[in-house]
């Protein structure tokens, strides 16, 4: 790792049009902050056991010189409070004194709080200090948490997601500053690809399960949005976080425990232009369990059979059935609450969510001739029909064992399927072609975690033991993928050119634990902002992954092609009687054979042990309040892969990476005042090769029709990360922020296209050096003046990114630079929200646009493939009809712009691929009781 260096040239890049607009909003926020409305705090106090109101409880606002006593209903209300954070002290004869810290009061609103006091008989303890339990499913609570955090980060809450048409966590994350979402499932943060991110679900690290894109990154389309409490994206590191992220640490937290028994039920239906009611491809292999995202077993590979015996045993399904595409629908139900068991608090939450969908895609693909490697022009009309199912469930619970002791259990399961039929017809050089694929893929993920928190000591000081242990399981299968291609020299006599049937399986098991021991001390026990903490932690994780692909094809002689079989339907061509033990001289029949090039398997094991020391120290310097959070993390990681390109070979190829990395991090926060923070962060991180990238086997990607080879010589990448952020919180649920960032990569891992006539060979390489830098701007503001706009709010965020990677052009042999693969140069999000609490009406207008980005790295600049920008506009209207009953109408992607990829010379690019898109309209009903 190199020494610290901040690029002075970064500032010169800030002259962007969006900067001026956001600066005006910043100025407006400062002026509006001068005259904020006051708020109120209403406190209701009960006995813990009987839940009877307590009369005459003394309540003091510490530091505000305000105090009083509860009335006959156990309630005391403080009015005319300035917006901000407060601390409460509650005392009552015969009961433990309790302190409440971290209470947020908003201008123009009444914050209501219910507190239970415990009698001396409950436990014999000193005064009890409790931080107010924040409901982190609201936007304001997340901003309050962000304000007090020691790192740079952003988040989106369940309340925000509910105001969008987003159906999965991947859909929702595109609203977060600095994030782009590829294919609805892969997250790019600040211009760096998904491989540089880490995803946690309820504190457990998870990776993706996708046969085609066997990679580290999590598939965010696997998590239904209505099971979420919030999703946060941490952009600077501390020693207690994983050391292998440099883009972002994405933390998914599922639904929270309500304070009282609550049940919610929701249903929705939707239709998409160009799909719903239109002609739609259906697979003749459909079964009665596909609605549960489970194959019915008819696609399974028969065991104990091979060659023609296997061919005759396989179902003969090559025809496409057409029908009208039905509407999409979804439903969800949840129930949770808190109760008392043997005098101890028990919280619980259970939820189930289900959704299905149908998508038809029409477009075209073309490749211009690459004369360097003897390429030919190719053009094809593309059509795909995709039916999807996604469902999941969770059950979480916790038990308080006594003062400062809590145990928790969380379980999360999600399952999905994708049934896609694709056809392409066109011209390749001087001949016509036609092909079709049938692809079924099912995936599931399961996470189980137990955790505990044990606090020892008095108010604001003592020792805290925080631990968890977990088990995770991921699975993907792709049974009986069928591919068939015809070459049509004579339209009256098509000739079958290629056929293939494959079966793929991917399994991953993950288990681990974490133990943190934190010592805390404070010079002000009533204020957590003055607490100094030192943490020592140990984490261990073991991951095993296995992948296998079997490919078979029907082989024939040239003599066979002269017969009229090519005029028959595929089901007649592949009839069982055509698979004979021998092929005679006239070509009567097929032989079913293993395709050794497209078959292969690998197994891998990954072990990680991490120890870390961390300090979080608030201090004063020159009469200014500062906070230092940082330390060092030591990671010892070992990867070992065994790979067989041919399942009939006994001796596998091997690959191994074994490294020890010392990773420092530091975050300095200048707390200018109660509304303003200035943050500076630096950390070192690594990026390790994945099993698939190391495994020296070939695998055919049937989405792109390219061959992917692993590279056993890959090295792990090292990254240095720098961050600077200024943030201003003018009021409740509002923020204005600006950030600068810079990342320096050594041995960055990227996928490249290698020289071939059709650019169809890909592998992974280390680029010697790369840089990524840019800025982020964000505004969330309530339009409280003039009065007619008080129910409106606006949100804007803009990210600008530059990146450079050093590489050698394989065409002219020159050393050059290009952008990082997948990096979007800019991302812009805007939202206008109307929320009238008197009428129960809400309207949300959302806009998103992503700049032109490098989709695939070619062997030279003119063979790179780029994804072009498109405008996306979403609308949502909600109406509260009665208590707990709400209707929502949404229109998603109403502009319906095509998805366009281009290639060729920068001055004269051509359309490489186009996919038509249509708007989706939905109606949903939610009832909560």
* 397-417 core/surface letters (b: 16 or more CB in 10 A; e: else): bbbbeebbebebebbbbbbbb
Per-residue pLDDT averaged across 222-249, rounded?
Answer: 84
Distances (CA, A) of 279 to 270, 358, 361, 575: 17, 11, 11, 28
Strands (E), 92-161: 98-105, 110-117, 128-131, 153-157
Say which DSSP state 292 is in: G
Q: What pLDDT is stored for residue 25 in this prediction?
A: 43
Q: How far is Cα 438 from Cα 570, in angstroms, rounded to an integer?
A: 13
- Lowest pLDDT segment from 255-259, 697-701, 736-740: 255-259
Q: What pLDDT is stored for residue 860 in this prediction?
A: 67
pLDDT in tens, 739-753: 999 999 998 888 777
Per-residue pLDDT averaged across 848-874, rounded?
Answer: 83
Order across the sheet with 153-157: list the strands: 153-157, 228-234, 248-254, 197-201, 204-206
Say which DSSP state 302 is in: P
The residue with tokens 């232009």 is 273
Most confident of 12-16, 545-549, 813-817: 545-549
Most confident of 165-179, 334-348, 503-517: 503-517
- Paired tokens of 590: 């097929």
pLDDT in tens, 354-381: 999 999 988 877 765 554 444 456 678 8
- Lowest pLDDT segment from 18-22, 41-45, 150-154, 549-553: 18-22
Mean pLDDT value across the chain:
80
Q: What pLDDT is stored for residue 378 in this prediction?
A: 66
Q: What pLDDT is stored for residue 9 in this prediction?
A: 36
The answer to whether 115 touches 100, Cβ cutoff 8 Å, is yes
Q: Please list, in sequence order, all residues whose beta carbon lies within 8 angstroms of the beta carbon of residue 880, skipping any fewer than 6 positions away.
A: 839, 840, 841, 886
Distances (CA, A) of 16 to 191, 255, 774, 794: 17, 39, 11, 20
The residue with tokens 């993920």 is 445
Q: How far is Cα 603 from Cα 546, in angstroms, rounded to an integer?
A: 4
Residue 184 predicted with pLDDT over 80: no
- Lowest pLDDT segment from 362-376, 568-582, 612-626: 362-376
Largest distance between two CA atoms of the chain: 104
Q: How confident is the model at residue 562 (pLDDT cuts 50, 70, 90)?
A: very low
Q: Please list, in sequence order, all residues whose beta carbon lies within 8 angstroms of the beta carbon of residue 87, skipping any fewer than 6 positions away.
A: 61, 62, 63, 99, 100, 101, 102, 103, 526, 527
Distances (CA, A) of 41 to 83, 88, 109: 10, 11, 9
Q: What pLDDT is stored for residue 50 in this prediction?
A: 58
- Domains recognised in the chain with CATH numbers: 36-131 (2.60.40.1120)
* CA-closest candidate to residue 835, choices 160, 36, 113: 160
- Paired tokens of 706: 């390219």
Is 690 strand, coil or helix? coil
Q: How far is Cα 33 from Cα 890, in angstroms, rounded to an integer?
A: 34
The answer to whether 126 touches 98, Cβ cutoff 8 Å, is no
Most confident of 191-195, 208-212, 604-608, 839-843: 604-608
Q: How far is Cα 447 from Cα 508, in angstroms, rounded to an integer?
A: 12
The number of C-alpha atoms within 13 Å of 410 and in the hemisphere containing its C-beta is 18
Beta carbons within 10 angstroms of residue 43's beta carbon:
23
Per-residue pLDDT averaged across 842-865, rounded?
Answer: 81
Q: What pLDDT is stored for residue 510 in this prediction?
A: 93
Residue 123 predicted with pLDDT over 90: no
Residue 882 predicted with pLDDT over 50: yes
The residue with tokens 């009428």 is 839
Per-residue pLDDT averaged across 422-444, rounded?
Answer: 84
Torsion from C-alpha of 268, 269, 270, 276, nearest 10 degrees: 160
The residue with tokens 């977060």 is 176
Q: What pLDDT is stored for residue 494 in this prediction?
A: 63
Beta carbons within 10 angstroms of residue 293's beta carbon:
22
More confident residue, 184 or 801: 801
Question: pTM score, two decimals?
Answer: 0.78
Most confident of 12-16, 563-567, 784-788: 784-788
pLDDT in tens, 652-699: 788 888 889 999 999 999 988 888 899 999 999 999 888 888 888 877
pLDDT in tens, 47-79: 776 567 777 788 888 767 687 888 766 888 888
Per-residue pLDDT averaged across 232-259, rounded?
Answer: 84
Q: How far is Cα 369 from Cα 4, in angstroms, rounded to an integer?
A: 47
Say which DSSP state 293 is in: T
- Paired tokens of 764: 């992974």
Q: How far is Cα 218 from Cα 241, in angstroms, rounded to an integer?
A: 17
- Paired tokens of 391: 């469902």
Residue 757 predicted with pLDDT over 60: no
Percent of the chain predicted with pLDDT > 90: 26
Q: What pLDDT is stored for residue 448 in this prediction?
A: 94
Order across the sheet with 110-117: list the strands: 75-81, 39-47, 110-117
Per-residue pLDDT averaged across 4-15, rounded?
Answer: 39
pLDDT in tens, 379-431: 788 888 999 999 999 999 989 887 778 899 999 999 999 999 998 888 776 77
Q: How far is Cα 856 from Cα 182, in angstroms, rounded to an integer?
A: 13
Q: How confident is the model at residue 724 (pLDDT cuts 50, 70, 90)?
A: very high
Q: What pLDDT is stored for residue 139 in this prediction?
A: 62
Q: What pLDDT is stored for residue 40 in this prediction?
A: 86
The answer to whether 554 touches 589, Cβ cutoff 8 Å, is no
Q: How far is Cα 383 from Cα 617, in angstroms, rounded to an integer?
A: 59
* CA-closest candidate to residue 130, choices 89, 76, 75, 84: 89
Percent of the chain predicted with pLDDT > 70: 79
The answer to whether 439 touches 702, Cβ cutoff 8 Å, is yes
Is 458 strand, coil or helix? coil
């Amino acid at each position: 790792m190199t020494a610290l260096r901040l690029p002075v040239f970064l500032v010169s890049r800030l002259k962007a049009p969006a900067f001026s607009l956001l600066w005006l909003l910043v100025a407006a926020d400062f002026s509006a902050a001068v005259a904020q409305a006051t708020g109120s705090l209403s406190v209701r106090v009960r006995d813990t056991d009987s839940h009877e109101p307590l009369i005459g409880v003394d309540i003091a606002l510490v530091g505000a010189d305000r105090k009083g006593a509860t009335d006959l209903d156990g309630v005391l209300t403080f009015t005319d409070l300035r917006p901000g954070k407060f601390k409460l002290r509650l005392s009552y004869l015969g009961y433990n004194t309790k302190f409440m810290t971290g209470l947020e009061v908003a201008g123009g609103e009444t914050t209501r709080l219910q507190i239970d006091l415990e009698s001396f008989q409950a436990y014999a303890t000193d005064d009890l200090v409790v931080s107010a339990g924040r409901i982190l499913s609201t936007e304001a609570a997340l901003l309050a948490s962000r304000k007090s955090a020691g790192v740079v980060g952003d988040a989106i809450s369940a309340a925000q997601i509910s105001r969008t048409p987003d159906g999965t966590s991947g859909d929702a994350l595109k609203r977060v500053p600095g994030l782009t979402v590829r294919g609805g499932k892969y997250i790019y943060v600040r211009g760096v690809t998904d491989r540089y991110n880490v995803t946690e679900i309820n504190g457990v690290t998870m990776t993706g399960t996708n046969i085609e894109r066997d990679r580290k990154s999590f598939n965010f389309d696997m998590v239904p949005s209505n099971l979420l409490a919030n999703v946060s994206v941490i952009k600077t590191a501390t020693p207690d976080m994983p050391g292998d992220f440099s883009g972002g640490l994405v933390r998914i937290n599922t639904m929270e425990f309500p304070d009282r028994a609550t049940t919610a039920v929701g249903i929705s239906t939707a239709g998409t232009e160009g799909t719903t009611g239109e002609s739609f491809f259906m697979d003749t292999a459909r079964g009665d369990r596909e609605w549960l995202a489970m194959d019915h077993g008819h696609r399974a590979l028969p065991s104990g059979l091979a060659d023609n015996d296997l061919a005759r045993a396989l179902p003969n399904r090559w025809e496409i059935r057409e029908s009208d595409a039905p509407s999409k629908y979804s439903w969800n139900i949840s129930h949770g609450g808190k109760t008392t068991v043997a005098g101890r608090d028990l919280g619980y939450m259970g939820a189930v969510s289900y959704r299905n969908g149908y998508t038809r895609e029409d477009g075209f693909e073309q490749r211009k001739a690459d004369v360097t490697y003897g390429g030919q022009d190719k053009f094809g009309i593309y059509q795909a029909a995709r039916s999807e199912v996604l469902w999941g469930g969770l059950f979480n619970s916790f038990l308080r064992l006594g003062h400062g002791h809590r145990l928790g259990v969380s379980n999360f399961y999600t399952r999905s399927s994708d049934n896609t039929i694709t056809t392409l017809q066109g011209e390749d050089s001087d001949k016509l072609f036609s092909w079709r694929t049938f692809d079924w893929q099912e995936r599931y993920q399961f996470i189980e975690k137990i955790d505990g928190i044990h606090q020892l000591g008095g108010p604001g000081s003592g020792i805290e033991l925080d631990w968890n242990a977990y088990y995770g399981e991921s699975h993907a299968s792709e049974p009986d993928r069928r591919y068939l291609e015809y070459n049509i020299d004579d339209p009256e006599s098509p000739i079958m050119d290629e056929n293939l049937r494959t079966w793929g399986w991917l399994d991953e098991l993950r288990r681990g634990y974490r133990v943190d021991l934190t010592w805390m001390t404070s010079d002000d026990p009533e204020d957590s902002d003055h607490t100094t903490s030192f943490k020592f932690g140990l984490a261990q994780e073991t991951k095993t992954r296995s992948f296998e692909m079997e490919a078979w094809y029907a082989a024939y002689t040239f003599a066979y092609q002269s017969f009229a079989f090519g005029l028959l339907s595929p089901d007649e061509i592949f009839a069982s009687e055509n698979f004979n033990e021998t092929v005679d001289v006239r070509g009567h029949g097929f032989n079913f054979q293993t395709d050794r090039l497209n078959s292969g398997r690998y197994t891998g094991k990954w072990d990680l042990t991490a120890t870390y020391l961390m300090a979080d120290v608030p201090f004063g310097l020159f009469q200014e309040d500062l906070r230092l959070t940082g330390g060092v993390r030591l990671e010892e990681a070992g990867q070992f892969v065994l790979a067989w390109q041919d399942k009939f070979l006994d001796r596998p190829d091997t690959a191994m990476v074994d490294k020890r990395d010392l990773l420092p991090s530091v975050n300095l926060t200048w707390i200018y005042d109660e509304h303003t923070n200035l943050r500076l962060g630096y950390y070192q991180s690594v990026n390790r090769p994945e099993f698939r990238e190391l495994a020296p086997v070939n695998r055919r990607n049937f989405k792109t029709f390219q061959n992917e080879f692993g590279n056993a010589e890959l090295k792990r990448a090292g990254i240095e990360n720098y961050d600077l952020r200024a943030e201003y919180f003018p009021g409740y649920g509002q923020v204005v922020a600006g950030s600068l960032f810079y990342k320096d990569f050594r041995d960055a891992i990227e996928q490249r296209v290698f020289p071939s006539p059709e650019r169809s060979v890909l592998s992974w390489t280390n680029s010697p050096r790369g840089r990524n830098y840019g800025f982020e701007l964000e505004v969330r503001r309530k339009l409280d003046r003039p009065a007619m706009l008080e129910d409106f709010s606006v949100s804007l965020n803009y990210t600008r990114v530059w990146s450079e990677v050093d590489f050698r052009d394989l065409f002219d042999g020159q050393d050059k630079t290009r952008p990082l693969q997948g990096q979007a140069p800019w991302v812009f999000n805007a939202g206008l929200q109307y929320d009238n609490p008197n009428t129960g009406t809400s309207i949300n207008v959302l806009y998103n646009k992503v700049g032109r980005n490098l989709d695939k790295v070619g062997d030279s600049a003119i063979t790179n493939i780029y994804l072009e920008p498109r405008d996306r506009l979403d609308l949502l209207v909600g109406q509260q009809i009665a208590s707990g009953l709400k209707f929502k109408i949404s229109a998603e992607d109403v502009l319906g712009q095509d998805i366009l990829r281009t290639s060729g010379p920068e001055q004269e690019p051509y359309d490489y691929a186009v996919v038509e898109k249509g708007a989706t309209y939905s109606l949903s009903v939610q009832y909560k009781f």
